Chain A
Amino acid sequence: MLRVKGIHKSFEDFKAVSGANLTVEAGQLVAVIGPNGAGKTTLFNLITGQLKADRGKIIFKDEDISKLPPYEICRKGIARSFQIANIFPRLTVFRNVQVSVLSQQRKSVRLFRPAETLAVEETNTILEDVGLSDKADATAGSLAHGDQSTLEIAIALGNKPELVVLDEPTAGMSPEETAATMELIRRLAGSQGLTILFCEHDMEVVFNVAESIMVMHQGITIIQGGPDEVRNSARVQECYLGGA
């Protein structure tokens, strides 16, 4: 479904990503792991268009999307969440998700219909799915950190994506919140048949959930394979597991 081939990105003299490869098949739950500064977030920003690659290809459903602006990539069916909660702080929780649904339904330029009556059902369903229904009327900026991260995922779901890219969805969460979030991700992948790509630095979390794991180190892909294959790889142990 998604194929990243030999992607490169430098900032000034710093090579953030220099030769990353990634394959995501439809319906898979894929994780990217690597130590801090390995280039995971940069890779995700390249996939969803926030950054433009210097070199390399990103193929989504047989089409090179590496030159497209973020909003067009989103319309192709890739939605994302951000590591640092990137929500609409002055709007209500409901509105946060609704704006995303309205965008997906191409209704965001409607001028004279009350927004209150549009996309209500879809929005409520998503809020129920992620467990934020009881906070629908709260101002998003006033939510606790964990809830903001959940809202992040809810906003991404509003786009009815085929592929969801989650940038460290459990960053800064307590162990309980982490467990709940991973459970949510597993449920979305299972019951809704979503293809999910996420990155994480907590090893335990990744090996429990992911079907395929890609390991990054200093901007380079070291290996991609099943959990056991990755765990037993000598190179991974050398530069990541052993070194940590």
Chain B
Amino acid sequence: MSKGIFSLKSFGPIAALLIALVILPSIIPRFYIYILAVIFVTALLAMSLNMVVGHGGLFQFHHGAFYGVGAYTVALMLTKTSLPVWVGFVAAPFVAAFVGLLIGLFCVRLTRLYFGMLQISLGSLIWAIAFRWYSFTGGDDGIHGIPLPSLISSTTGAYYFGLILLIISLIVMFLIFKSPFGATLQAIRDNPERCEAIGINVRRHQLIAIVIATFFAGIAGVLFVVVEGSVFPDLLFWVFSLEIFVMCLLGGWFTFAGPILGAAIMISLRTFAGIYTEYWTMILGIMLILLIFFLPEGVWGYLVEKFGFQRKKSLEKERQ
């Protein structure tokens, strides 16, 4: 059993991937740089959702609301105020986390499906505000042409900004995943009743998890504005939240890195299958059905199972 957090074994592949991601923009066409940047944003969003869904066992059905709140916070602060850009960037995650706290306070009183239903209702209220309040949020038109610093306004600039924020966020998330809090959260997912019986205040832990997850959703919202330069109410619509949910399932929601893979699959599918047919969601639907039957732990979960199984076997051999 390794006691270190970052095992040396996974260091090699991760370093290689990072170097590739740093070099790529100078080789590939702009369109692909943009797609990768979108994947970074979506991956961060899916990862933040998975903290509560996969590790916390909460039915966080309207995660998009907090992503949207983060994005709108930046957009509004950059267009309506003359505050420095970084103030908006820093404020967005905190605003998203605060909204997460408010909605979470109500939701953690309920369990499972009821939790999810209440969250969809409360999140839809925020969507309605963004959708209807033309004078402030631009209504269904959204806000376009958000002024960004020149360093990150180009596609390549946005790509690197996204990559850096994604990496920092992932490191922090991984530390939390491996911390006593992460362990306790997974125990709550497995068995909330038992957790109460060993002295854990389940609701408080769930609320903390929601605040952390919505904070990261807010960061993803910031990245969205940087990559797209605009915001619109669709970000807060519950249908989009379901899409994020699907990404977690697709990648493997009981794993740490699965949602990154799920986000990459979804975005690629939408982009490349979307060229040929409007009905790319049909392909997604078929994939989901196959997933349920053949890879119930998700794509990443399947890989871990295969790989992890071999490792366990060798462990057993060592013992004998």
- A118 and B182 CA atoms in complex are apart in Å by 13
Distance in Å: Cβ of B306 to nearest Cβ of chain A = 16
Query: Which 4 residue pairs are nearest across A and B when measured between Cβ atoms?
Result: A74-B199, A88-B190, A70-B196, A108-B184
Q: Tell me if A114 and B178 are in contact (CB < 8 A).
A: yes
Whether B181 and A158, one on each chain, are in contact in the complex, defined by CB atoms closer than 8 angstroms, is no
- Bound-state CA distance A3–B176 (Å) is 42
A sample of 26 inter-chain contacts (CB < 8 A) reads A49-B196, A74-B197, A74-B199, A79-B197, A79-B198, A82-B194, A82-B197, A86-B193, A88-B194, A89-B190, A89-B191, A90-B186, A90-B189, A100-B198, A104-B199, A107-B180, A108-B184, A111-B175, A111-B181, A111-B212, A113-B180, A114-B179, A115-B179, A116-B4, A137-B1, A137-B315
Size class of the contact patch on chain B: 20 to 34
Residues of A within 8 A of B (CB): 48-50, 69-72, 74-75, 79-80, 82, 86-91, 95-96, 98-100, 102-104, 107-118, 137, 155-156, 158-159
**Closest residue on chain A to residue B175 by CB atoms:** A112
**How many pairs of residues, A versus B, come closer than 8 Å at their CB atoms?**
118
A119's nearest neighbour on chain B, judged by CB, is: B180
If A103-B198, A103-B199 touch, does A98 touch B181 (CB 8 Å cutoff)?
no
- Contact yes or no, A113 B179, CB < 8 A: yes
Among A90, A98, A103, A112, point to the contact of B200 (Cβ < 8 A).
A103
Inter-subunit contact A110/B179 (CB<8 Å): yes
| Contact partners of B212 in chain A: CB under 8 A | 111
Residue among B183, B198, B201 making CB contact with A115, cutoff 8 Å: B183
Please give, as numbers and ranges, the residues of chain A lying within 8 Å of B189 by CB-CB distance. Answer: 90
* Partner of B199 from A86, A115, A137, A159 at Cβ < 8 Å: A159
* With known contacts A69-B196, A159-B199, A86–B180 Cβ distance under 8 A: no
Contact of A158 with B179 in the complex, beta carbons under 8 Å? no
Bound-state Cα–Cα, A115 to B3, Å? 9
With A and B bound together, what is the CA distance between A89 and B175 in angstroms?
23
Given A71-B199, A87-B191, A90-B186, check contact A109 B181 (CB 8 Å): yes
A110 partner residues in chain B, CB cutoff 8 A: 179-181
Binding site for A on B (CB under 8 A): 1, 3-5, 175-176, 178-184, 186-187, 189-191, 193-202, 205, 208, 212, 254, 315
Distance in Å: Cβ of A90 to nearest Cβ of chain B: 5
Q: Which of B181, B183, B200 contacts A95 (CB 8 A)?
A: B183
Contact A116 B184 (CB under 8 A): no
Question: Do residues A109 and B208 form an inter-chain contact, with CB atoms below 8 A?
Answer: yes
Q: What separation, in Å, do the CA atoms of A98 and B208 have in the docked complex?
A: 20
- B186 pairs with A91, CB closer than 8 A: yes
**Contact, CB under 8 Å: B182 / A109:** no
Assess the A86–B181 pair: CB atoms within 8 A. Answer: no
How far does the alpha carbon of A98 sit from the alpha carbon of B178 in the complex, in Å?
13
Q: How long is the Cα–Cα vector from A69 to B197 in the complex, in angstroms? A: 9
Q: What is the CA–CA distance of A13 and B180 in the complex, to the nearest angstrom? A: 44
